[in-house]
Structure 1
Amino acid sequence: MSKHWIATLVAGLILGLNTTAGQANDEWLELSVPDIMAMFDSGQLSSETLTRFYLQRISEIDQQSGINAITTINPDALDDARQADEQRRTGGTSGALHGIPVLIKDNVDVAGLATTAGSLALKNNIAQTDAFLVQQLRAAGAIILAKTNMAEWAFSPNVTVSSAAGITRNPYNLQHTPAGSSGGTGAGVSANFAVAGIGTDTGNSIRGPSSHNGLVGIRSTMGLVSRMGIVPLYLRNDIAGPMARTVTDAAIMLQAIADIDDTDPASVHRPDVLPTDYVNALDADSLRGARIGVMGYYRRQGSIDAEILGLFDQAVEDMRSLGAIIIEDFSIPDFELLIQNNWCNTFEIDVNHYLSTQTQAFATHSLTEVIESGLYLPGIADSLQGMQAGAQSSADCPDLFNHARNNTFRAAVLDAMRTYSVDAIVYPTWSFPPRRIGDNSSPAGDNSQHIAPHTGLPAITVPMGFAGPGLPAGISLIGHLFSEAKLIGFAYSYEQATQHRRTPVLPDSKAAQSD
């Protein structure tokens, strides 16, 4: 019996035969957090009813269509929603996400649920406690609805496929990839299986899936969001963050999870005072007078799809029309040298540390045991063994703020930003549309791997239109350290003026995969 079948069965049992979710119509799609909160407050909607609605959509659409975004339904979701409704009735709310259903990537610990990181080797890894950011979401009132598929061990930025759950498809076109590794969250949020979600990003995996699925995704400054309770890839580069259909929802999510975690060493790099009121940054005039540097490196002919370049050029002109001062051909001296040889292989150290914190009832406590189990996709066997063979020590790979090469790269980027007096750098999130599933030879176009992961600087992607066979594309903004509020303002200004997000038209069945 497959894990997906079990998840669907559980959802059906939870919903029952007489669910009120079926009374909802298309007006329930694309609801934002403020929309829902207004409906909660007016009595038009309850958290229980909304949770049932999303569970029914998952049950009726996710597997039948072949999107395959959801891996595990939280069996406590409806009870949690009822409790949220009761708390609201008695005159109190927990926070800005009170009663809001969200999705969590399956490398993030949710107490009582398996954290598989997409691997059958971890199928029995039942989390005993919530990851720190999940604790923050619950404190803000969020309902943890379900967990989402991911690229196994977060290895691939290009596809979302795992031994634990199979392959996830792009809801805009099932023949195409949602990118990786947070493609399950990307596809699930885009398909309206929840209000928003959490992804993780080592080099691309919040921003790529957000771009490919018509979403807003935020990779924050290293140290702003806790990494504890998350299966790592390279902990020194890993960040968790929001993926949402609107900048507003992404800002609300970030505000909920941005907090100091004394157990996360990266937290020590935060300044004493942070502009953490991200919701107040939602100003449609934010781009007026802002200096935006256009990263010429990602605009070169021959290295970008013509249609994507056209969308990007139009996006830059849209920002100009909104009052931004556009600095053409912004460049970082020696950029091609700076982006070389930055990855540091801490996978075995980081995974072994994570596994050592798990319950003794879970038998796998090292990468060696994972490899020996054989419980993973055959295609990643060489990667797992290569990670172990090429493992580097923590002394060779200190965190991003204590490593000479990372510090040099960050200084070069910030020096260039000061030289040009720019508030943010802008470029296409990906230079090519989403690949067809199974295509491993055409250009990928991932531009996310260079600056943010190796400097610790924040980045946000926002939809900039559609290319190819109706597939989304995104534009990215990178800012100064801890400038998330400013980036959110810029993204909101652009989003409100352009409104590129549109709901994917979901097929009725898997037959659409071969159309």
Structure 2
Amino acid sequence: MLYKNQEGKSSSSVSKEFNVDEATIKNVHQAFRENTLTAERLVQIYLERIQKYDQPFGLNAITSINQRALQDARVLDEEFRNTGELRPLHGIPVIVKENISTAGLQTTAGSLAMQGFMPKEDAYIIKKLKEAGAIVLAKSNMAEWGISANITVSSVAGETLNPYNLAYTTAGSSGGPAAAIAANFGIIGIGTDTGGSIRGPASHNAVVGVRPSMALTSRKGIIPLNLRNDVPGPMTRTAEDAARVLEVINGYDPEDPLTEYGKEKLPDSYTEFLQKDALKGIRIGVFRKLSNYASPQIDTLFQQAIYELEKLGAIIIDPFEVPGFDSLRHNQWCAVFQEDLNEFLGSLGDEVPVNNLQEVIASGKYSKYIENDLINYQKYMKVQGETVCGGPFSDTKRIAFRNAIEQAMNHQRVDVLIYPSWNRAPIKAGTVYAITGDNNHIIAPHTGQPAVTVPMGFLPENLPAGIQFLGRIFDDHKILSYAYAYERATQHRRKPKMFSK
């Protein structure tokens, strides 16, 4: 994929002054201030990396490039020269999932049925990122319509592969941004999480993935899978960068009524809570319900992680139990894709090539593996009744589930819960149906609680695995601080050798 600059020449220069491998927001901004790097130069380097590695190596993470990225970078460089001030994400290149509206950039949700849709307006969180100085560098592949948590395959771009071992999958549905950030194609990725679509790919690709509390981040301008569960969030190489991004994208949006619930819950800063000794003295509940069926390799890493947390000063409560958990978690899902998608597409009028799910199916423009899902979504709407289809603050079953977990945390004086993000290794590429061991969909999507996954080590075949921290609703700042302390002490993330200089 060749990027053309404004003069029509290919951008191929590589900085000798700044190495982007594992670059963070902080060290990029330091380089800006020291005049050893510009935003334009940084964008050029990442465009070169994408061109060199993505298609030639078969990673297949990037679906399109923002042809204005260099121009946007030059404007930000000029601003910095004139003011001497950097915005929170000044000049930081962002990789955006295909279901998040980006003005002037194709947004397809991975479906050929949506090919050619160029939104006139950015999604709310993209507006916030741009206001903070971020540069949308590229769009990234996803599981078509967000339907699969196991793989990232779309009719638009095919399958995205795992940068640590190209014979394996990334999980889904945000596998594109996860693989791109793992391979150092940008500084930050933005994904969406309905059942685990940020945290699963983050775990499989050795990056940090945050599912924020429901109501913290707006869903406006995002092609939905299930609005009652959908939430956008950051995918980054460090917990600190995730906190910096969450500071920017959170907040009240009058066009997303759900964010009213989070309006009074926002701390002034997330980064101010990041402390290396944040784990000292806290009580961590080991949620064995979600780890009892882990593979031996995952269990070994998880037991090692528990030992590491204990060495860092945490008090381990093992096992942590929730009375009635199995019955509470039952029947939490609701088939509302058709309703939500039709409403989204209908709001766009002639901008989109299809206006409803029926037209998507009639077009035949979708991957074969999701055909039955699409047909079933068309047949069954609100199969469990209106009350079960409510939001996290109105649905009685969801409220009861959250209350039971948080009351158990209160009773056992537990600050945070932990479990493996995924109970098994990534599956082989090309596999559609398999026993996958996904823990991400079980709690947070229904209760609205925040969860973050960070690397806890590597399995055979050089495959990453993650540990998940789950907190009380609106305790995002706390779980990020715990993840940060664990990450800083253990340094389990390593860059994929195949995509290193």
CA separation in 2, counterparts of 1:190 and 1:424? 26
Q: What is the SS of the residue equivalent to 1:506?
A: helix
Alignment pair present for 1:30 and 2:22: yes
What is the Cα-based RMSD across aligned positions, in Å? 1.7
Could you tell me which residue of structure 1 aligns to residue 112 of structure 2?
Answer: 120
SS of corresponding position for 1:71: strand
The 3-state SS of whatever aligns with 1:326 is strand
Residue matched to 2:134 = 142
Q: Does the Cα contact within 8 Å between 1:190 and 1:214 map onto a contact in 2?
A: yes
* Alignment of structure 1 residues 234-249 onto 2, 5 Å: 234-249=226-241
Q: Tell whether 2:344 aligns with 1:354.
A: yes
Amino acid at match of 1:383: D
Q: What is residue 332 of structure 2 aligned with on the other side?
A: 342
Aligned pair partner of 1:475 in 467, 484, 489: 467
1:178 aligns with 2:170: yes
Tell me the CA shift for residue 359 of structure 1.
4.6
Match of 2:379 among 377, 385, 389: 389
Further displaced range: 359-368 or 109-118: 359-368
Q: Look up the match of 1:20.
A: 13
CA 1:133 to 1:361, structure 2 compared with 1: closer, same or farther past 3 Å? closer
Moved more, 221-230 or 429-438: 429-438
Distance across 1 between alignment mates of 2:262 and 2:233: 17
Matched, 1:81 2:73: yes
SS in structure 2 of the partner of residue 329 of structure 1: coil
SS in structure 2 of the partner of residue 175 of structure 1: strand
- Tell me which stretches of 4 or more aligned residues in structure 1 moved more than 4 Å: 11-15, 22-25
1:115–1:125 contact (8 Å) kept in structure 2: yes
Mapped contact 2:369–2:432 kept (Cα < 8 A): no
Paired residue type of 2:340: D
C-alpha displacement at 1:361, in angstroms? 3.9
Contact preservation (8 Å) 1:93, 1:141: no
**Secondary structure at the residue paired with 1:224?**
coil
Q: Does 2:324 match 1:331?
A: no
- Secondary structure of the corresponding residue to residue 443 of structure 1: coil
Q: 2:305 aligns with which of 311, 315, 337?
A: 315
Output one character per residue of 1:223-253: Cα deviation in whole Å (capped at 9) or x when no partner. Answer: 0000110000000000000000001111111
Contact 2:17 2:36 survives alignment (8 Å): no
Opposite residue 387 of structure 1, the aligned amino acid is: Y
The correspondence of residues 426-505 of structure 1 with structure 2, limited to 5 A, is: 426-440=418-432, 442-505=434-497
1:507 to partner: Cα distance = 6.4
Whether the 8 Å contact between 2:251 and 2:262 is mirrored in structure 1 is no
Deviations 1:372-421 (A, max 9, x none): 11111122121111001011288341212111111111111111111111
Q: In 2, distance between residues paired with 1:373 and 1:308?
A: 42
Residue 259 and residue 121 in structure 1: after superposition, are their counterparts in 2 closer, same or farther (change >3 A)? same
Q: Secondary structure at the match of 1:485?
A: helix
Letter in 2 for 1:135: K
Maintained 8 Å contact 1:94/1:140: no
Whether the 8 Å CA contact 1:220–1:484 is kept in 2: the answer is: yes
Give aligned-pair identity as a percent. 45
**Structure 2 residues not aligned, in runs of 5+:** none
Distance 2:70 2:449 in 1: 38
The answer to whether the 8 A contact 1:122-1:364 is kept is yes
Change in Cα spacing, 1:111 to 1:288, as seen in structure 2 (3 Å) is same
> Distance between the aligned counterparts of 1:361 and 1:264, measured in 2?
21
- Would you say the 8 A contact 1:364–1:370 is kept in 2? yes
What's the counterpart of residue 294 of structure 1? 286
Alignment partner, residue 48 of structure 1: 40
Question: 1:339 offset after TM fit, Å?
Answer: 1.7
Cα drift, residue 79 of structure 1: 0.4
Residue deviations 1:432-468, cap 9 Å, x none? 1111113356531100011100000000001000002
Rounded to whole Å, the distance in 2 between the matches of 1:385 and 1:407 is 30
Cα distance in 1, alignment partners of residues 306 and 285 from structure 2: 10
CA distance in 2, matches of 1:360, 1:432: 44
The equivalent of 1:5 in structure 2 is none
- Aligned equivalent of 1:101: 93
Among residues 112, 125, 132, which one is paired with 1:133 in the alignment? 125
Question: Residue 409 of structure 1 is aligned with which of 401, 419, 422?
Answer: 401
- Whether the 8 Å CA contact 1:294–1:425 is kept in 2: the answer is yes
1:364 aligns with 2:354: yes
Cα distance, 1:409–1:253 mapped onto 2, change above 3 Å: same
The structural deviation recorded for 1:364 is 1.4
Question: Contact between 2:155 and 2:366, CA under 8 Å: does it hold in 1?
Answer: yes
AA of the residue aligned to 1:389: K
Q: In the alignment, does 2:219 pair up with 1:251?
A: no
Q: Distance in 1 between matches of 2:349 and 2:4?
A: 27
Q: Number of aligned pairs?
A: 498
Aligned to 2:391: 399
Which residue is 1:374 aligned to? 364
- In 2, are the aligned partners of 1:224 and 1:258 still within 8 Å (CA)? yes
Normalising by structure 1, we get a TM-score of 0.94
AA matched with 2:194? T
Q: Answer whether contact 2:420 2:468 (CA < 8 A) is retained.
A: yes
Aligned position for 1:280: 272
Secondary structure, aligned partner of 2:168: coil
Query: What displacement does 1:14 show?
Result: 7.9
Deviates more, 1:437-446 or 1:245-254: 437-446
CA contact (8 A) 2:118 2:351 kept: no
